[in-house]
C-alpha cells in the first residue's frame, strides 16, 4: 500500500522535499515551544500539543497527496462558485463568527466543533477565480470595462471584507492578486488603478472604523502596532512581546544546535505561532533561520520554473498566485519577528502551530503539484512523440 502511494507521487520533487522539510521543522519547534504549556494545561502530558499538531500535519499531507492527483483544470470550474460562497461566509464571520482577541475571524463547524478562518477559504477562491478570469479574458484584457467588472471588483470586495478584522491577511491577498495580474499581462495603468482603488478602500474602512464602530474597532489596534514599531519603548507593555523575541534571537546567536532547549518560549507570547521564527533562531541560530528562509525562496524559484514550463495560463497563474501568497506571508512573519515590520499577527506557513489553516495550505500546495504534474506529463509525452517520429524517419530512410 505504501509502495503504491509513493509510486503515485507526482509533480515537482523539490516541492515535495521542501514541504517535508518544513513539516519536520514544524514538529520540532511546536513541541519545544508548547511542552511547558501542555504540562500546565494537560496535567503533565507534555506531548499533547505535539500529537495534535502531528495529526493536523499528517492529514494535511494526505490532502496534498489527494489534491495533486486531480486535474488542475477542474478547479477552474469551481472557482466561481467558491468566490460567490466566500461573500456570505465573510459576512457571517463578521457578525456571527467566533471572536478571539477582539477579532471575528473564525467560523465554528457544527458537530465537530472545529474552527476555521473564512479568510483562508476566500483567499483560495479569489486567487483561483482571478487566474480563471485572466486566462479566459486574454483577448479583451485591455478593455477597462471587462477588467473592472470581472477582476477589479471581486478583488476589492473580498479584500475589503477580510480587512475589517484581518488587515494583514487582506494586504497579503491584495499584493498577491497584483502579482497575478502583472504576470497575466494586465496593463500597468490598470494595475495602478487597482492599487489606487485599494488605497482608497483602506482609507474608507479605517475612517468608517474610527468614526462609526464602538471603540474604533480594529483601527486602534492597527494604529497601536504601527506606533509601537516606529517608537519602541522597551519598558512598555505594548513592546513586551517584541522584547522577548529579541532575547530569544540573541540567545540563538550565529550558530546553535539545541533542539528542544528553548527557554524563552516560557515568556514569549505566541512562541508557537506568531513568533515561532524567534523560537527557531533561539534553538538553531541565525544559520537555522537563514536555512528556513532559503527553503521558502527555493520554493518560489520552483514556482517560477513551473510558470516558464506551463503551457496553460490558468494553471501557471493559479500556481504562482497560491505559492506567492505563502512565501509573502512567510517573509512578513520573519520581518515581524526581527522587528523589521510592525506586528501583524500572522503565522509562518507550514511551520507555525495551526488547525485548519494547515489544511488550506496543504490544499494550495496540492493544486501547485497538480499543475506541476500536468507539465511533467506533457514534457514526457512530447519527448515520447519526438522519439517515435525520429524512429519513423529512420525506418523510412532504411526502407
What pLDDT, in 10s, does the model give residues 73-107?
899 889 999 999 999 999 988 888 777 766 677 78
Q: How many alpha carbons lie under 13 Å from residue 9 in its C-beta half-sphere?
A: 16
What pLDDT, in 10s, does the model give residues 246-260?
999 999 988 888 888
Question: What's residue 277's pLDDT?
Answer: 96
* Mean pLDDT score, 346-358: 89
* Mean pLDDT score, 59-76: 93
Q: How far is CA 348 from CA 174, 214, 292, 359, 391, in A?
A: 18, 32, 10, 14, 52
Question: What's residue 25's pLDDT?
Answer: 95
Distance CA 219, CA 341 (A): 17
What is the C-alpha end-to-end distance of the chain, expressed in Å?
48
In this prediction the pTM is 0.89
Q: Which of these, 112, 221, 246, lies nearest to 167 by C-alpha position?
A: 221
Distance CA 166, CA 122 (A): 12
Query: Which of the four pLDDT bands, split at 50, 70 and 90, describes residue 216?
Result: low
Judged by average pLDDT, the poorest of 183-197, 312-326, 362-376 is: 183-197
Question: What's residue 103's pLDDT?
Answer: 67
Question: What's residue 397's pLDDT?
Answer: 41
Backbone phi, then psi, for 338, in 5-degree steps?
Answer: -100, 10
The sign of the torsion formed by the CA atoms of 9, 12, 13, 16 equals negative
Amino acid at each position: 500500500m505504501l509502495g503504491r502511494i509513493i509510486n503515485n507521487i507526482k509533480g515537482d520533487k523539490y516541492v515535495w522535499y521542501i514541504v517535508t522539510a518544513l513539516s519536520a521543522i514544524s514538529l520540532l519547534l511546536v513541541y519545544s515551544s508548547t511542552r511547558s504549556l501542555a504540562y500546565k494545561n494537560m496535567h503533565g502530558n507534555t506531548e499533547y500539543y505535539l500529537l495534535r499538531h502531528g495529526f493536523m500535519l499528517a492529514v494535511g499531507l494526505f490532502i496534498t497527496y489527494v489534491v495533486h492527483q486531480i486535474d488542475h483544470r477542474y478547479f477552474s470550474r469551481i472557482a466561481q462558485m467558491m468566490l460567490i460562497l466566500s461573500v456570505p461566509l465573510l459576512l457571517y464571520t463578521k457578525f456571527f463568527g467566533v471572536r478571539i482577541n477582539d477579532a471575528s475571524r473564525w467560523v465554528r463547524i457544527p458537530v465537530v466543533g472545529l474552527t476555521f478562518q473564512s479568510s483562508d477559504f476566500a483567499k483560495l477562491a479569489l486567487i483561483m477565480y482571478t487566474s480563471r478570469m485572466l486566462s479566459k479574458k486574454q483577448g479583451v484584457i485591455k478593455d477597462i470595462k471587462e477588467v473592472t467588472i470581472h477582476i477589479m471588483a471581486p478583488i476589492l470586495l473580498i479584500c475589503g471584507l477580510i480587512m475589517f478584522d484581518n488587515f494583514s491577511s487582506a494586504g497579503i491577498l491584495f499584493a498577491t492578486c497584483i502579482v497575478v495580474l502583472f504576470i497575466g499581462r494586465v496593463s500597468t495603468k490598470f494595475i495602478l488603478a487597482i492599487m489606487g482603488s485599494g488605497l482608497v478602500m483602506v482609507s474608507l474602512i479605517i475612517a468608517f472604523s474610527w468614526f462609526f464602530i464602538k471603540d474604533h474597532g480594529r483601527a486602534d489596534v492597527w494604529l497601536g502596532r504601527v506606533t509601537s514599531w516606529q517608537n519602541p519603548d522597551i519598558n512598555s507593555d505594548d513592546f513586551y512581546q517584541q522584547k522577548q523575541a529579541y532575547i530569544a534571537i540573541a540567545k540563538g546567536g550565529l550558530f546553535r544546535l539545541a533542539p528542544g532547549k528553548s527557554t524563552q518560549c516560557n515568556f514569549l507570547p505566541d512562541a508557537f505561532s506568531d513568533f515561532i521564527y524567534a523560537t527557531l533562531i533561539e534553538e538553531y541560530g541565525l544559520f537555522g533561520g537563514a536555512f528556513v528562509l532559503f527553503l521558502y525562496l527555493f520554493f518560489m524559484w520552483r514556482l517560477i520554473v513551473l510558470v516558464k514550463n506551463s503551457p496553460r495560463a490558468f494553471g501557471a497563474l493559479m500556481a504562482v498566485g497560491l505559492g506567492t501568497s505563502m512565501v509573502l506571508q512567510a517573509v512578513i512573519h520573519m520581518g515581524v519577528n526581527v522587528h523589521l515590520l510592525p506586528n501583524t499577527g500572522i503565522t509562518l506557513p507550514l511551520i507555525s502551530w495551526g488547525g485548519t489553516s494547515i489544511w488550506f495550505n496543504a490544499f494550495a500546495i496540492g493544486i501547485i503539484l497538480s499543475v506541476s504534474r500536468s507539465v511533467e506529463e506533457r514534457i514526457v509525452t512530447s519527448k515520447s512523440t519526438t522519439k517515435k517520429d525520429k524512429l519513423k524517419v529512420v525506418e523510412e530512410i532504411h526502407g
